[in-house]
């Protein structure tokens, strides 16, 4: 069974009502390819607003973070139920910025992932190596270790999308070559087959998340294990539509 092309737009800490309205309306009006699923992830205060603007069935809204408790004295955190109440269907977890800037480790990310899945949210699970780890030749070891924590917690992989994001390529203008990305994605799929099952490995979509843009997205077109993109800065620009249609 063919895996549906998936493009996530991570707005990060950017945007306001006006800019988010422009982005969502652009997606509503764009002639999107039929075989693409698009998830827009604005900052938490705009989840409800963004959801209210979506008119295209291929487009849904996701959050950028969620906690592993349903409610309580957790100031500043985002509740899965509250995210769902805003109409969002996905959440990004394990993003490199959460790992490096906010100290989230593999265990916490795995706990968050399990809780979100158990409560009915889809999860875009981010993994990837830093520049230092890449230079040390540790890329595969790093992604395997990050996956191991999640594999220990996840019982059903149906609503999991894995995003491989080489940290050294985020916001730097650098990007892995399509061949590099294919090699890592193939290894991730093989690892899932070994550690979970061949069926899960075949069905799980693996996204590339390292500075994808309107120009380079098409160069990944024939890479069989690259099932889409998790896009940062380019998701705020008109070229995001080109990324979504890069498989055409």
Residues serving a catalytic function are 95, 165
Q: Which residue has the tokens 């977890």?
A: 93
Alpha-carbon separation of residue 107 from 94, 95, 104, 145, 146 (angstroms): 10, 14, 8, 10, 9
The 10 Å Cβ neighbour count of residue 64 is 22
What angle do helix axes 106-118 and 139-153 make, rounded to 10 degrees? Answer: 40
d(CA 17, CA 30): 20
d(CA 234, CA 241): 10
Q: Do the Cβ atoms of 38 and 244 come closer than 8 Å? A: yes
- HEC string for 68-105: CCCCCCCCCCCCHHHHHHCCCCEEEECCHHHHHCCCCC
d(CA 202, CA 193): 8
């Amino acid at each position: 069974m063919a895996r549906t092309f998936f493009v996530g737009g991570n707005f990060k800490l950017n945007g306001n009502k006006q800019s988010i309205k422009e982005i969502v309306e652009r997606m509503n009006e764009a002639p999107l390819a039929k075989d693409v699923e698009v998830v827009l992830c604005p900052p938490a205060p705009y989840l409800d607003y963004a959801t209210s603007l979506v008119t295209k069935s291929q487009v849904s809204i996701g959050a950028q973070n969620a906690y592993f408790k349903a409610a309580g004295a957790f100031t500043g955190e985002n509740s899965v139920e509250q995210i769902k109440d805003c109409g969002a269907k996905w959440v990004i977890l394990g993003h490199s910025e959460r790992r490096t800037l906010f100290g989230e480790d593999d265990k916490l990310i795995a706990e968050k992932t399990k809780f979100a899945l158990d409560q009915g949210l889809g999860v875009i699970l981010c993994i990837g190596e830093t520049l230092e780890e890449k230079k040390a030749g540790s890329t595969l070891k790093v992604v395997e270790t990050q996956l191991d924590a999640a594999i220990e917690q996840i019982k059903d992989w149906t609503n999991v999308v894995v995003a491989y994001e080489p940290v050294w390529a985020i916001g730097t203008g650098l990007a892995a070559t399509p061949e590099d990305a294919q090699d890592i994605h193939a290894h991730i799929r093989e690892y899932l087959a070994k550690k979970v099952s061949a069926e899960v490995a075949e069905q799980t979509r693996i996204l590339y998340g390292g500075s994808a843009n309107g120009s380079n997205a098409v160069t990944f077109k024939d890479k069989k294990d690259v099932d889409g993109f998790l896009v940062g800065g380019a998701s705020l620009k008109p070229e995001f539509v080109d990324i979504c249609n890069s498989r055409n």
